[in-house]
Amino acid sequence: MSSKRFYTLSASCPDQVGIIARVSGFIAGNGGWILESSFHADALTGRYFMRIEIKADSLSFLLAEFRERFRQEVGEPLQMDWRINDSAVKRRVVVLVSKQEHCLYDLLARWQAKELDIEIPCVISNHETFRGFVEWHGIPFHHVPVSADNKAAAYAEMQRIFEDVHGDTMVLARYMQILSPELCDALAGRIINIHHSFLPSFAGAKPYHQAYTRGVKLIGATCHYVTSELDAGPIVEQDVIRIDHSDSPEDMVRYGKDIEKTVLARGLRYHLEDRVLVHGNKTVVFR
């Protein structure tokens, strides 16, 4: 990834002859300098995917005009789903957490070190546990209790907060509540979760205990987009570690914390850098 300002074009369209020529010709025809490019053709679905970084100051016009020209000359003729983002605009990431701290601590450490060059406008939790820690970082903390009696109102409040702070992405950093279908639909493709198993194995509650009962030799973690179907959204990133018969469920929980942190951080970075293109319930990830 370039350290200088660039625009990222990510797109998919029906596979056909001349896609790269049409896109690169448009960029070159407007003086654009391509810094990085990735392409993938899915033979089973007949869909073509691409991600291109363009040096911002190589173009003679602003991003708004670039978007409009691209729409007219390339996007519509090729029937593309596309977006173009500016590396100079920091993404605003709202973090949700419950009572487990490891993913929250890791994200804030990466944010503070600018390893994740983002803005965190607030943290939302269904418990007060981490208020002091979050506010020590200078980040607003919102306590939104969730119970069987107030779920609709609680999730409406969370959506209100997200919209009020102009959030771009919502991250569930071991947030142990099932979001409402309405919230999932309203923020489709913008909510990222870390699940403490190698999905689709052991979805739902206590996956490490499920893994122990099943006697598996590998456990893992999965970063995925949240949908109304529990732990079944498009997968962004996964990893595993090896265990054996001597490991207890508590051991697995301890081992799993390390892998959960790294998988969530990688998956979030891929998302923020527009490296993830969703197609149905699958993803293309340009690493």
pLDDT over 90 at 183, yes or no: yes
Say if residue 178 is in the same domain as residue 281. Answer: yes
Same domain, 201 and 275: yes
- With beta carbons less than 8 A apart as the criterion, state whether 174 and 98 touch: yes
Task: For residue 130, tell me if it sits in a domain.
Answer: yes
Identify whether residues 154 and 25 lie together within a single domain. Answer: no
Predicted TM-score (pTM) of the model is: 0.94
Domain match, 111 and 228 both: yes
Please state the rounded mean pLDDT for residues 181-185. Answer: 95
Instruction: Tell whether the model's pLDDT for residue 134 goes beyond 60.
Output: yes
> pLDDT category, 136, cuts 50, 70, 90?
very high
For a pLDDT cut of 70, what percent of the chain falls above it?
99
* Token representation of residue 175: 């947030």
Q: How many CB atoms lie within 10 A of CB 2?
A: 12
Question: Which pLDDT value is given to residue 6?
Answer: 97
State the helix-helix crossing angle for 102-112 and 249-272, rounded to 10 degrees: 40
Residues in the chain: 287
* Residue 81 is a catalytic residue: no
pLDDT above 80 (res 2): no
Evaluate whether residue 261 is within a structural domain. Answer: yes
Report the CATH number at residue 115. 3.40.50.170
Q: Looking at the domain assignment, is residue 1 inside a domain?
A: no
Is 24 inside a domain boundary?
Answer: yes
Q: Tell whether 52 and 115 lie within a shared domain.
A: no
Do 96 and 123 form a contact (C-beta atoms < 8 A)? yes
Give the SS3 label for residue 213.
helix
Q: Where residue 60 falls among pLDDT bands split at 50, 70, 90? A: confident
Q: Give the span between the Cα atoms of 243 and 215, in whole angstroms.
A: 10
Q: Does 226 have pLDDT greater than 70? A: yes
Alpha-carbon 14 to chain mean position: 24
Quick check: is 177 in a domain? yes
**Domain match, 21 and 137 both:** no
Domain end, chosen from 61, 86, 111, is at: 86
Q: Could you give the number of structural domains in the chain?
A: 2
Query: Does residue 161 register a pLDDT over 90?
Result: yes
Catalytic residue among 57, 231, 251, 258: 231
Tell whether the model's pLDDT for residue 275 goes beyond 70: yes
- Asked if 74 and 108 sit in the same domain, the reply is no
Domain boundary among 27, 51, 86: 86
Residue 220's alpha-carbon distances to 39, 120, 271, in angstroms, are 28, 27, 20
Q: What is the CATH number of the domain that holds 82?
A: 3.30.70.260
State the Cα–Cα distance between residues 174 and 183, nearest whole angstrom.
Answer: 17
pLDDT above 90 covers a percentage of the chain that reads 92
- C-alpha 110/C-alpha 121 separation (Å) is 15
**Residue 205 pLDDT:** 86
CA distance 267 to 282: 14
Rounded CA gap, 74 and 22, in Å? 7
Domain final position from 86, 112, 133: 86
Same domain, 73 and 126: no
Average of per-residue pLDDT values in the chain: 95
The C-alpha atoms of residue 197 and residue 218 are separated, in whole angstroms, by: 10
Residue 1 has pLDDT above 60, yes or no: no
What is the span of the domain harbouring residue 120?
93-285
| 130, 79: one domain | no
